[in-house]
Amino acid sequence: MKEIKLKGLNETIYTDTCPNGLQVYMWVKKDVNTFYGTLSVKYGSIYSNFKIGNKIYHTPHGVAHFLEHVKFNEDKDTTAHDYFFKMGADTNAFTTFNYTNYQVLGSTNPKDNIIHLLDFVQNDYFTKNIITNEKGIITEEAKMGEDDPYTVMLFKHLDNLFNNNEHKYLITGNKEDIKDITLEDIKLVFDNFYHPENMFLVVTGNFNPYEIMEAVRENQNNKLFSKYNNPQRIIAKENKKVRVAKEELNINVTNKKIKIGIKIAKDTFKGYDDLHIRILLSLILRASFGTTSDFKDYLLEKELISNLGYINEIFDDYVIIMFTIDSNYPEEVIKLFQDKLNNLEVTEKTFNRIKNANIASLILDFEDVEVVNGIIQTEILNYGDIIDNLKEIYENITYKDIKDFMKYLDVSNQSILVLKPLE
């Protein structure tokens, strides 16, 4: 087993790979009562179209999420919930755009719980009856989303930003998609994506990593898996321009909201890897639009806004920046945003303060078993490996790096969504 030392953080990640390809990552914290195991499958809602060799497959939207729901059935009368309930452990799962994650959180018998996590996720029990029963439940979940204005806003905005890219579709699928999902779709996806080579296990908390690794290896060696077909997601060709530049919509909000989305082709940032794009962009956004920024302070003081938040993501070949603003003066605020975006500036003093605060956060992150588990998942999914020198990377970023990066920041390709209360 390999030990990855996280430089400057005094933390160690244990890692190993099973002969069948399952990767395992572990972080030990001896003074807690709990352990947290997550099994991630690199298959999420954006994988509706894929190919194996030359054969192309299309599935309805929402299959990843549907499969996550029915995965808990272990046989006719048993679910994974029954097992973990008996063990005094908690289990759950979620589906994102790019992966599906199954979890167990417990305080005793980490080995048995982790092994059962592997067993139920890798078990192929699906029936027509299960699929039929689950449709009602998932339809109600999708309707809950329709009642949540933040979900409606987010996906409407993504739909306007993207022309064809799968990030524009609901993770659950809509009611029609859910109706269309069949047992065959579920089996097709399970057989091809739920393979150890396409999964990774992360265990954090209080346990013996050598004992866990031995048990996992033995468990995987005792299972038969067919050859990994290495299915490839088909990424729809995406026009660089946003689909809809501006739209107004009446939905169930009580006050007006604005969403400003910026879509930048990733290849604009020549010479920057994904990690540096994320770090540098976060620093710039925080300095320019965060609570310590003059711009946000001005908008609040003039009572033009009551809230302002932002996120930045990399979706396939695009960097997406999304602002969500609560404001009753959309036109004025949008104008001020355009001025600000076209004249971004970060002072050296601000840069140093934010950089130091972020470094302090890195130290604090390694305190909570769930947070650390999430960090490991994100690094594996985004970068394919553990970043062992993240603190160093932050420390080495200079003010000049920020200035240089800002030259590439083209904010012209925007999609603006204004949401108003129902009339």
Q: Smallest gap, in angstroms, from Cβ of residue 292 to other proteins?
A: 5
Put residue 354 in one of left, alpha, beta given phi > 0 → left and psi -120 to 50 → alpha: alpha
Distance of alpha carbon 204 from alpha carbon 212, whole angstroms: 11
Q: Closer CB to other proteins, residue 140 or residue 267?
A: 140
Residue whose entry in the numeric block shows the structure tokens 């048993």: 78
| Contact code string over 359-378 relative to other proteins, x by CB under 8 A | -xx-xx-xx-x---------
In the set 22, 63, 138, 346, which binds other proteins (CB under 8 A)? 138
Q: Is 354 in the site for other proteins (CB under 8 A)?
A: yes
Q: Is 381 in the site for other proteins (CB under 8 A)?
A: no
Cross-strand partners of 13: 4
> Applying CB under 8 A, which part among 93-101, 137-145, 184-192, 387-395 lies near other proteins?
137-145
In the set 214, 316, 326, 395, which binds other proteins (CB under 8 A)? 326
E strands of 97-189, at which residues?
100-106
Q: Count the Cβ atoms, other than its own, within 10 Å of residue 26.
A: 28
- Name, in order, each residue with C-beta under 8 angstroms of 407's C-beta and a sequence gap of 6 or more: none
* Catalytic residue list contains 248: no
Q: Smallest gap, in angstroms, from Cβ of residue 359 to other proteins?
A: 9
| Contact code string over 260-299 relative to other proteins, x by CB under 8 A | ------------------------------xxxxx-xx--
With CA atoms as reference, report the closest residue to 85 among 74, 100, 101, 97. Answer: 74
What is the DSSP annotation of 45-78? TT-SEEEETTEEEE--TTHHHHHHHHTTB-SSS-
With CA atoms as reference, report the closest residue to 275 among 374, 198, 388. Answer: 388
Which value, to the nearest 10 degrees, does the dihedral of the CA atoms of residues 91, 95, 98, 102 take?
10
Q: Exactly one of 68, 134, 166, 379 is catalytic; which is it?
A: 68
Q: Smallest gap, in angstroms, from Cβ of residue 63 to other proteins?
A: 18
> Applying CB under 8 A, which part among 105-113, 117-125, 374-382, 387-395 lies near other proteins?
105-113
Q: Smallest gap, in angstroms, from Cβ of residue 45 to other proteins?
A: 17
Q: Closer CB to other proteins, residue 52 or residue 357?
A: 357
Q: Closer CB to other proteins, residue 23 or residue 373?
A: 373
Q: Smallest gap, in angstroms, from Cβ of residue 358 to other proteins?
A: 8
With CA atoms as reference, report the closest residue to 284 among 335, 347, 336. Answer: 347
Angle at 419 between CA 287 and CA 340, to 5 degrees: 25
Q: Closer CB to other proteins, residue 138 or residue 285?
A: 138
| Contact code string over 297-316 relative to other proteins, x by CB under 8 A | x--xx-x--xx---------
Q: Is 77 in the site for other proteins (CB under 8 A)?
A: no
Residue 318, Cβ density class (10 Å: 0-12 exposed, 13-18 middle, ≥19 buried): buried
Q: Smallest gap, in angstroms, from Cβ of residue 304 to other proteins?
A: 10
What three-state secondary structure class fits 116? helix
- Name, in order, each residue with C-beta under 8 angstroms of 157's C-beta and a sequence gap of 6 or more: 259, 261, 322, 415, 417
Enumerate the active-site residues: 68
Residues near other proteins (CB under 8 A) are 31-34, 72, 79, 81-82, 85-90, 105-108, 133-138, 140-141, 143-144, 146-149, 252-255, 290-294, 296-297, 300-301, 303, 306-307, 326, 353-354, 356-358, 360-361, 363-364, 366-367, 369, 422
